[in-house]
Structure 1
Amino acid sequence: MAKLNGPFDFSGNLGNFSVYKMRGVDKLVVRRKGGPTKEQVNSSPTLARTRENNAEFRACTMLTKGIRSAVFLVNHLGDLRFTGALNSLGKQMQMLDKTSKRGERGISLSRHGSMLAGFDFNAEMPFDSLFRHPLTVNTNRRKGTATITIPGLIPGISLNLPWKAPFVRFLVSLGKAGDVRFNGTTFQRVEVGTAHQQYRITEWQHTGAASAPADVTLQLDKGAGRGESLVLAIGIELGVTGRYGEIEPAARAGAAKILAVF
């Protein structure tokens, strides 16, 4: 991805190039058109490595889709690049499969979940930079439970917010995500069922008022099975007073991270 410097300010096509704007990038983005055709990619002997790479990348995107589904409650608090960052993490896990041949390497989140723990959804606004107190986390994979103790707010100490918003609340999500395996023909994600998510949203609190610690407990219908992982995430969301006096979430204000994968 190239970036365009200079006095130009436009988007669209320019010869063999496409020029467009992207949120989170302060310069125009330039991409070159072209490349091999779909038929060439699918059948050309010289593009065999490309087919292997494409297949394994699809496995990474399948894993990312499962993770996003497990923590859907906090996805909106991420930046535009967090999906790509999850794909990259999936690729690192995939490289740890030393037994399968290239193009068929699976991704075992259930074995390498520690690589995902601590993942921030917003690279420029890490969760720990906004909320300064450590969280206490207790998990049970067999029972499918997680408890988070959120310390009470201390005005002027607990929060470090770059946005002007008078209210804050926490979003906690627990969900299942499955490993991605090659079945001899294609990649498949381990099915985790339909009722595999639980979440809690705390009440709005004024950022200038003290509050007591709060325990948040989430429990799924059953624990994690073989090839399944439980993904625990937390987000911090800012609130403003709406048109009719109600509190509503502030746009693009907040952060989230994955606390544990177990």
Structure 2
Amino acid sequence: MGTLSSGVEFTGAVGTYTFYRKQGSDKIFVRQRRNGGRKKKKKELSERVQETVTEFSLCASTSKAIRWAIRDIKHLADYNFTPKLTGLCRHPQKLDPVGKRGERSVLISQHPSYFAGFNLNKNHLFDSIIRHPLQYSIDPVAGIARVELPELQQGVSLFLPWPVPQFRVIMALGLAADQLFDASGKKDSFSPGTTVATTGWLSSTEQHKGQTFELSLPMPAKRPKDRGISYVLSIGIEMEITVLRGSGGIRKAGAGKIVDLVAVGG
């Protein structure tokens, strides 16, 4: 993979080369597509490799479930966080007390601390923008989360990384199910909804009183009976940034994170 410093202002494929931009960068990158040999089928791989492939697949499914639960704020990420989240899933997977290697499940509900506090950003973290501790609670029985935003004032509790006129805070509550090993290869079909609460658009030059929000997400009637389920609370701060590149315009920017996960009892 290479980068182009000047002379190319388009993206797309030309011959065997692909020109593209990465999220969070104005540079144009180029890579050459390779025509490799025939891809081996899973059954043609060694037993050890098959075990690794199976477990990685479960980690990918776990990452997908969590991304679905935080889909209302994931547009605030400044990089592709999916590989990092997928890799993080390996840690709780290794703690599966039942499955042997190649058959270990990812039990989100038993190890929520691995995912709590996960940041969607590299350049500007949510906690570096809103610096007062966030107060919250999650009631997994009632399916209700309460979030208390602190008083927000630029330079005191709020440190916006860009000179923007306004911003807003987005809170979301979703659900994620444990990903269990299934010898039949059955895919996860649990895709519940989410609930969202937002502040209005707030002026960056004014002081704003603290606010309390309540998010309610009842457990769906159709839910996996054999898997643990966790409520996932996430939060983000969103700004509108003027884009100078090309024809200009406005894009969404900001920061977000997973606040906490709480398992549903029963």
TM-score by length of 1: 0.81
CA distance in 2, matches of 1:42, 1:36: 15
Distance 2:94 2:67 in 1: 21
Q: 1:166-181 to 2 correspondence within 5 Å?
A: 166-181=165-180
Q: Secondary structure of 1:55's partner? A: helix
Counterpart AA for 2:117: G
Unpaired runs of 5+ residues, structure 1, are 242-248
Cα distance in 2 between the residues matched to 1:53 and 1:34:
25
> Is the contact made by 2:3 and 2:30 (CA closer than 8 Å) also made in structure 1?
no
Residue identity opposite 1:259 in structure 2: V
The CA deviation at 1:189 is: 3.4
What is the CA deviation profile of residues 127-171 of structure 1, one whole-angstrom value per residue up to 9, with x for unaligned ones? 011111111011111221111100111233222222221101110
Q: Which moved more, 1:3-12 or 1:115-124?
A: 3-12
SS in 2 for 1:117: coil
List aligned pairs for 1:198-237, cutoff 5 A. Answer: 198-222=195-219, 227-237=228-238
Deviation at 1:31, TM superposition (A): 6.6
Deviation at 1:222, TM superposition (A): 3.5
Instruction: Give the conservation status (yes or no) of the 8 Å contact 2:72–2:196.
Output: yes
The answer to whether 1:253 aligns with 2:250 is: no
Which portions of structure 1, spanning 4 or more consecutive aligned residues, are displaced by more than 6 angstroms? 5-11
Q: CA deviation at 1:22?
A: 4.1
Q: Secondary structure at the match of 1:72?
A: coil
- Opposite residue 84 of structure 1, the aligned amino acid is P
| Distance in 2, Cα, partners of 1:230 & 1:257 | 14
Counterpart of 1:142? 141
1:14-29 matched pairs, under 5 angstroms = 20-23=19-22, 24=24, 28=29
Please give the residue correspondences for 1:49-64 in structure 2 after superposition, counting only pairs within 5 Å: 49-64=48-63
- 1:43 to partner: Cα distance: 3.4
Letter in 2 for 1:4: G
Amino acid at match of 1:200: A
Which protein is richer in helix relative to its size?
1
User: Is the Cα–Cα contact under 8 Å of residues 174 and 199 in structure 1 kept in the other structure?
Assistant: yes
Judge conservation of contact 1:136–1:149 (CA < 8 Å) in 2: yes
1:42 to partner: Cα distance: 2.9
Whether the 8 Å CA contact 1:180–1:187 is kept in 2: the answer is: no
Structure 1 position 256, deviation (Å) = 0.3
CA distance in 2, matches of 1:37, 1:214: 58
Shift of 1:51: 2.8
What corresponds to 2:100 in structure 1? 101
- In structure 2, runs of 5+ residues without a counterpart are 243-248
Q: Give the SS at the match of 1:208.
A: coil
Give the secondary-structure state (helix, strand or coil) at the position aligned to 1:107: coil
Q: Secondary structure at the match of 1:181?
A: coil
- Give TM-score, length-normalised by structure 2: 0.80
Task: Name the amino acid aligned to 2:66.
Answer: I
Report sequence identity in percent: 32
C-alpha displacement of 1:5: 7.0
Pairing 1:80–2:79 present: yes
Pair 42,8 (structure 1): closer, same or farther in 2 beyond 3 Å:
farther
Cα separation, 1, equivalents of 2:36 and 2:43: 15
> CA, structure 1 residues 22+155, in 2 after alignment: closer, same or farther (shift >3 Å)?
closer
* CA shift for structure 1 position 125: 1.5
Q: Report if aligned partners of 1:130, 1:161 keep a CA contact under 8 Å in 2.
A: yes
Name the residue aligned to 1:244.
none
Contact 1:181–1:189 under 8 Å retained in 2:
no
